[in-house]
Chains A and B, each alone.
Chain A
Amino acid sequence: MINLFWLGFQNIFQINVLSVIFAGTFFGIVFGAIPGLTATMGVALLLPFTFKMDPITGIALLIAIYIGGISGGLVSATLLRMPGTPASVATTFDGYPMAKKGRPGKALGIGIFSSFIGGISTAFGLAFLAPIVAKFSLKFGFFEYFSLGIFALTIVVTLSKGGMVKGLLSGFFGLLISMFGAAPIDMASRFNFGIKAMKGGFSLLPVLIGLFAVSKILSEVGISSNLLVPRVDPKDIYPPLSFFKKEWVNFIRSTLIGFFIGTLPGVGASVANIISYGQAKSASKHPEKFGTGCEEGIVASETANNAVTGGAIIPLITMGIPGDSVTAILLGGLMIHGLHPGPLLFKYNSDIVYSIFASVFIANIFMFITMLIGIRIFISLLKISKEYLLPIIMVTCIIGSFALNNRMFDVWTLIIFGVIGFMLEKNNFPFPPIILGIVLEPIIETNLRQGLMASNGSFLPIITQPISLIFIIIALLFIISQFTFKKNKHISL
Chain B
Amino acid sequence: MKVNNNKIYSMIIVFIITFLYFSNENLKVASYDLLGSKYFPRIICIIIFLLSIILFFKKEGKEGKEGKEGKEIQKKSYKRIILFVIFILLYLIALEYGSIFIYSTFIFLVLSFLILSNYEYKQLPQFIIISFISTYSIYYIFKNILKIFFP
- Which of A49, A188, A387 contacts B113 (CB under 8 A)? A387
The answer, yes or no, to whether B64 is at the interface (CB within 8 Å) is: yes
Within residues 95 to 143 of chain B, which ones have a CB less than 8 A from any CB in chain A?
95-96, 105, 108-109, 112-113, 115-117, 130, 134, 138, 142
Interface size class, chain A: 35 or more
- B73: chain A residues at CB < 8 Å are 219, 222-223, 426
- A162: chain B residues at CB < 8 Å are 63-64, 66-67
Look across to chain B and name the residue whose beta carbon is closest to the beta carbon of A52: B147
A394-B112, A411-B151 known; A188 vs B67 contact (CB < 8 Å): no
- Which of B33, B52, B71 contacts A449 (CB under 8 A)? B33
A161-B67, A387-B113, A408-B96 known; A179 vs B138 contact (CB < 8 Å): no
Within residues 401 to 457 of chain A, which ones have a CB less than 8 A from any CB in chain B?
402-403, 406, 408, 411-412, 415, 419, 422, 425-428, 441, 445, 448-450, 452-453, 457
Cβ-defined contact, B33 with A188, below 8 A: no
Cβ-defined contact, A427 with B138, below 8 A: no
The answer, yes or no, to whether A374 is at the interface (CB within 8 Å) is: no
Cβ-defined contact, B148 with A399, below 8 A: yes
| Chain B min CB distance to A311 (Å) | 24
Cβ-defined contact, A387 with B24, below 8 A: no
Binds B, one of A163-171, A249-257, A328-336: A163-171
A interface majority secondary structure: helix
| Chain B min CB distance to A333 (Å) | 16
The answer, yes or no, to whether A248 is at the interface (CB within 8 Å) is: no
Q: How many residues of B contact A (CB 8 A)?
A: 68
- A176: chain B residues at CB < 8 Å are 20, 41, 44-45, 48
Interface centre among B30, B44, B89 (most CB of A within 10 A): B44
Cβ-defined contact, A190 with B64, below 8 A: no
A221-B80, A395-B138 known; A412 vs B92 contact (CB < 8 Å): yes
Cβ-defined contact, B33 with A428, below 8 A: no
Look across to chain A and name the residue whose beta carbon is closest to the beta carbon of B77: A222
Cβ-defined contact, A448 with B35, below 8 A: yes
Complex alpha-carbon distance, A190 and B39, angstroms: 11
| Chain B min CB distance to A206 (Å) | 12
Look across to chain A and name the residue whose beta carbon is closest to the beta carbon of B104: A395
The answer, yes or no, to whether B144 is at the interface (CB within 8 Å) is: no
Complex alpha-carbon distance, A138 and B133, angstroms: 53
- Which of A190, A396, A415, A452 contacts B35 (CB under 8 A)? A452
A49-B148, A387-B116 known; A169 vs B13 contact (CB < 8 Å): yes
Q: 1/0 per residue A108-134: CB within 8 Å of B?
A: 000000000000000000000000000
Complex alpha-carbon distance, A172 and B41, angstroms: 10
Complex alpha-carbon distance, A487 and B85, angstroms: 42
| Chain A min CB distance to B2 (Å) | 14
Within residues 44 to 88 of chain B, which ones have a CB less than 8 A from any CB in chain A?
44-45, 47-48, 51-52, 54-55, 58, 62-64, 66-68, 71, 73-74, 77-78, 80-81, 84-85, 88
- B45: chain A residues at CB < 8 Å are 176
Cβ-defined contact, B13 with A191, below 8 A: no
Complex alpha-carbon distance, A167 and B150, angstroms: 37
The answer, yes or no, to whether A175 is at the interface (CB within 8 Å) is: yes
Cβ-defined contact, A163 with B138, below 8 A: no
Complex alpha-carbon distance, A444 and B117, angstroms: 47
Within residues 28 to 78 of chain A, which ones have a CB less than 8 A from any CB in chain B?
48-49, 52
| Chain B min CB distance to A64 (Å) | 16
The answer, yes or no, to whether B5 is at the interface (CB within 8 Å) is: yes
| Chain B min CB distance to A398 (Å) | 7
The answer, yes or no, to whether B9 is at the interface (CB within 8 Å) is: yes
| Chain B min CB distance to A486 (Å) | 12
The answer, yes or no, to whether A186 is at the interface (CB within 8 Å) is: yes
Cβ-defined contact, B147 with A185, below 8 A: no
Instruction: Pull 21 A–B residue pairs with CB atoms less than 8 Å apart, ordered by A.
Output: A161-B66, A165-B58, A176-B20, A176-B44, A183-B37, A185-B37, A188-B37, A190-B37, A191-B20, A221-B116, A222-B78, A387-B113, A388-B113, A392-B134, A402-B151, A408-B92, A419-B85, A427-B6, A445-B40, A449-B33, A492-B63
Using CB atoms and an 8 Å cutoff, list the residues of chain B in contact with chain A: 5-6, 9, 13, 20, 23-24, 27-30, 32-38, 40-41, 44-45, 47-48, 51-52, 54-55, 58, 62-64, 66-68, 71, 73-74, 77-78, 80-81, 84-85, 88-89, 91-92, 95-96, 105, 108-109, 112-113, 115-117, 130, 134, 138, 142, 146-151
